[in-house]
Amino acid sequence: MSENKHSGNLSPEFALLGFLISGQSHGYDLHQKFTTELGHVWHLSQSQAYAILKRLETRGDISAHIVEQEKLPARQMLRITAQGRKRFFEWLELGIGTNARSIRLEFLTRLFFAQLHRPESISQIYKSQTDEIKSSIVKLETLVEHLPPEQIYNRLSLDLRLQQLRLIQNWMAEIRTQFHISRI
Amino acid sequence: MSENKHSGNLSPEFALLGFLISGQSHGYDLHQKFTTELGHVWHLSQSQAYAILKRLETRGDISAHIVEQEKLPARQMLRITAQGRKRFFEWLELGIGTNARSIRLEFLTRLFFAQLHRPESISQIYKSQTDEIKSSIVKLETLVEHLPPEQIYNRLSLDLRLQQLRLIQNWMAEIRTQFHISRI
DNA sequence: CATATATACTCATTGGGTGAGTATATAGCC
DNA sequence: GGCTATATACTCACCCAATGAGTATATATG
């Protein structure tokens, strides 16, 4: 029913994985990259970044090995594993969110990494996102239609969500032209 | 910087408190009420409702006493305390969110309970919300202005957030006429 | 007579998120 | 020389959000 339901893939973890596709790195650097490149898309505190990386490691999506440094504290060098790579590209091409927030966050992140690692599948990714939006607009429209008229707060909420989705459609159309994404 | 920062007041806990203003009740019933009245504003699972109520109790915002029933399981009858009442009305008149999601969620919830418990302060609540939106639009606009042109994903993100805030302004203007809220 | 639905609540687990702390190095400033 | 700020690199303790499943009983419906 609602967007609070977290689908499990709305999280910066795939972004961290995405940065590791380009080569090994460590927590501090990944957080830096994240902040400068996607800092206004979503926020990730340093401690959160480390927590997510720890989780990715226990799951086997990345592997860590310590690199001593002469003066500064030791680094945990992180590499993406085959499994992590697999999960990342699955997310890149399959993962879709349906609410305004997750679209802004996830779609932009996906676009960013698709540009980097899979430019050839951008139009596919774009299409599945717009399709998802269209279908969730339809769902919402029928929901609103059948809503008892006395439920004014529920109606106001659904109305706004609908308008937000339509706004996102326009915003995405803009992106299509900006990125020269072909229609399929 | 970002909206992920949870301000601590984006939570259905005040809604539960709000239902208890009208009189004592118990977890099951509160969750029912919540779902039928605000179920499309935000989602609250049963177990979440119980978890929040537990927290409110340990904080001293509500008090519980067990009422045995002949056949069905015992109820935990819940009453709002003086402290809880105070916290609720503070939230009602002071709490404001600044991102699209929290506005939809929190503002509608506040409006709902203000209608019920404090109709005379609706225009004040409305005004502080619209003021907040206006100022966060200004903030975003200057942010976008000074954003280095190469940060295209950050720009797209901020652009969408700006457009969403403007959409919310229109949506709120609609609410003003619907609820006959006077300008102050 | 079986099954679904309503009543009423509990528990274990995962994940999101903050804020502060630890420790060292270097660069700039007065 | 001494002070402070900033950068590097990571850890820890804590709290809140959220799900999903489980427990147990009663009543209504086919």
Taking CA A157 as the corner, what is the angle to CA A147 and CA B36, rounded to the nearest 5 degrees?
55
How much is the pTM? 0.85
Distance CA(A51)–CA(A120), nearest Å, equals 32
Q: Which of residues 82-141 of A touch B (CB under 8 A)?
A: 100-101, 104, 108-109, 111-112
Beta-strand relationship, B62-67 and B75-80: antiparallel
Q: How far apart are CA A47 and CA A57, in angstroms?
A: 15
Footprint of strand D on the protein (CB under 7 A): A 2, 4-6, 26-29, 32, 46-47, 50-51, 69, 72-76; B 6, 8, 10-13, 43, 45-48, 51-52, 55, 71-73
Length of chain B: 184
For residue B4, the model assigns a pLDDT of 37
State residue A114's pLDDT score: 93
Q: What does the pLDDT profile of chain B (184 residues) look like in tens digits?
A: 334 333 455 678 999 999 999 999 999 999 999 998 898 888 899 999 999 999 999 999 999 988 877 666 778 899 999 999 999 998 888 767 677 777 888 899 999 999 999 999 999 999 989 998 998 899 899 989 988 888 899 999 999 999 999 999 999 999 999 999 999 8
Spacing of A141 CA from D13 C1' in Å: 46
Cα–Cα distance measured from residue A123 to residue A121, given in angstroms and rounded to the nearest whole number: 6
**Any atom of strand C under 7 A from CB of B71?**
no
Which of chain A's residues have a Cβ under 8 Å away from the Cβ of B156? 108, 171, 175
At residue A9, the pLDDT reads: 60
Distance of alpha carbon A18 from alpha carbon A84, whole angstroms: 9
Return the ∠ at Cα B13 (arms to B10 and B17), rounded to 5°: 135
Q: List the end-to-end C-alpha distance of chain A, in Å, as a whole number.
A: 30
**Bridge partner list, B78:** B25, B64
Among the partner residues A40, A101, A153, nearest to B101 by beta-carbon distance: A101
Residues making up chain A, counted from first to last: 184
DSSP assignment of B121-143:
GHHHHHHHHHHHHHHHHHHHHHH
